[in-house]
Amino acid sequence: MKRVRSLPIIILTILSSFFSLAAYADESGPIVIRFSHVSNDGSPKGKGALLLQKLVKERLGDKVVIEVHGNSELFNDTDGLEALRRNEIQLMAPSLSKFRAYTDELQIFDLPFLFDDLAAVDKFQSRPKGRQLLLSMVKQGIVGLAYWHNGMKQLSANKPLTTPEEAAGLNFRIQNSDVLKAQFAAVKANSVVLPYSAMSKALADGQVQGAENPWANFDEQNLQSVQPYLTETNHGVLDYMLVTNSEFWYDIPFEIRSQLEGIIAEVTYQVNQTAAEETLRHRENIANSGKTEIISLSDEQRAAWRQSMQPVWQEFSDQIGKRLIRSAQAAN
């Protein structure tokens, strides 16, 4: 009896919530999504952000507006993630090293020499374990929507580095990551945590003498003018997670959210498809600049770097999880 009487109420509740959600987009104007990031427009992330803005304008223009704020104009990554949790901004794509405060597992992407190349990274990210990591920060109010590639990292310095011993005593700029700190400690080098926007100046001033970056970032930050040597180590990966505020995201009416997710999938495909050719283009720019000498390593020389940095895996395997590490290795 009770059940029968409450049925219309349930229907009314569903209908009214449907209409109030619909009103979300129509009566109160478009949903504004502020996308804050630290890169410039020519970088893989900058291009992805602009493409997302363009496609959303074309297809959902009256319902959703994406504002893009690049170049750390609003926040650096650390402050930005807290702003995202407060819903002051709604989209970011920090590098995978920037989530240390929210999860242990994502540290996996910082382990040196874990992935042979970007294809292996891609494979791992597409498999169930990689997909699960997108949801590893939901309790902290952060939900991952996609992985965006940048590329494999190279080492640069104010002197040529061929052997790990040559790095000893140098200060390297790092992202805020315990794994990256341990990686440089393993070759007896020091590390200084600095936001991306401060890297170039710190290299020019001599506060740090070296850095690790994918080709695109090195070129986009014009590090050719401050780093005369770059060693092609491919020792790690710098990729991104496109993230949003979970409460904000699941409040978006289902139909609009689904369309947004479709557009994000398209942009992700585009960013990731072009990553390899972007990397080549930036590598060529650096080679043609005549300012930075690119040092290639023989297999034996690269193996020596790998061997000196490998103990870092052991140090972090309990925090990250041995099974997760094994499944990443299986992608090689």
Q: Point out which residues bind ligand LMR (CB under 6 A).
A: 38-39, 45, 77, 95, 150, 175, 196, 217
Name the residue nearer to ligand LMR (CB basis): 154 or 217. 217
Q: How far is the CB of 128 from ligand LMR (least distance, A)?
A: 26
Name the residue nearer to ligand LMR (CB basis): 39 or 171. 39
Q: How far is the CB of 318 from ligand LMR (least distance, A)?
A: 26
Q: What is the SS3 assignment for 169?
A: coil
Of 157, 147, 153, nearest to 112 (Cα)? Answer: 153
Name the residue nearer to ligand LMR (CB basis): 108 or 256. 108
Q: Which helix (H) or strand (E) holds 44?
A: helix 44-60
Q: What is the CA angle 52-58-42, rounded to 5?
A: 35
Q: How far is the CB of 51 from ligand LMR (least distance, A)?
A: 17
Q: How far is the CB of 73 from ligand LMR (least distance, A)?
A: 14
Name the residue nearer to ligand LMR (CB basis): 63 or 200. 200
Name the residue nearer to ligand LMR (CB basis): 39 or 136. 39
What are phi and psi for residue 142, nearest 5 degrees? -115, 130
How far is Cα of residue 61 from the mean position of the Cα atoms in its chain? 27
Name the residue nearer to ligand LMR (CB basis): 124 or 196. 196
Name the residue nearer to ligand LMR (CB basis): 45 or 235. 45
Residue 6 has a CB neighbour count (10 Å cut-off) of 11
Cα-trace Rg, the chain: 22
Name the residue nearer to ligand LMR (CB basis): 95 or 233. 95
Cα four-point dihedral sign 172, 178, 183, 189: positive
Cα separation of 245 and 257, whole Å? 13
Q: How far is the CB of 183 from ligand LMR (least distance, A)?
A: 14
What are phi and psi for residue 201, nearest 5 degrees? -65, -40
Q: Which helix (H) or strand (E) holds 155?
A: strand 142-157
Q: What is the SS3 assignment for 130?
A: helix
Cα separation of 73 and 222, whole Å? 19
Q: How far is the CB of 241 from ligand LMR (least distance, A)?
A: 11
What are phi and psi for residue 151, nearest 5 degrees? 170, -175
Q: How far is the CB of 71 from ligand LMR (least distance, A)?
A: 11
Q: Which residue has the tokens 């507006």?
A: 65
Cα four-point dihedral sign 152, 139, 312, 317: negative
Q: How far is the CB of 115 from ligand LMR (least distance, A)?
A: 17
